[in-house]
Amino acid sequence: MTEKEVQLTTASARGQVVIPQEIREELGIGSGTKFAVYGKGDTIIFKRVEVPTAKDFEKLASFGRKFAKKKGIREKDVLEDD
């Protein structure tokens, strides 16, 4: 499919919209793919998003703990109310 081709789809009674197979294949969209959806006026934008896994979150938390330790930031420094 070239970028200039436009394909039509129809919303179901439940609001579901089918992404044409050719587009799904070209973009590697499979069952369970997550999207952020934005709508304004007569335009809807779907942006594929990767939802972080628990392992991804733990890596980030570990990085944060190491960074805080290196900078001398303590838990009570973060949790104190001003």
More confident residue, 77 or 61: 61
Please report, for the chain, the start and end positions of each structural domain, with discontinuous segments joined by +. Answer: 1-50, 52-82
Q: Is the pLDDT of residue 72 over 70?
A: yes
Say which amino acid occupies 19: I
Residue 39 β-bridge partners: 44
User: Which pLDDT band holds residue 74 (cuts at 50, 70, 90)?
Assistant: confident
Half-sphere exposure in the Cβ direction for 42 (13 Å, CA)? 0
Q: Is the pLDDT of residue 70 over 90?
A: yes
- Assigned CATH for 1-50: 2.10.260.10
Share of the chain above pLDDT 70, in %: 91
Whole-angstrom CA distances from 73 to 57, 58, 64 are: 20, 19, 10
Give pLDDT tens digits for 38-67: 999 999 999 999 888 999 999 999 999 999
Q: In this structure, are residues 35 and 46 in contact, taking their beta carbons and an 8 Å threshold?
A: yes
pLDDT at 1: 55
More confident residue, 17 or 78: 17
State which H helix or E strand residue 65 sits in. helix 54-71
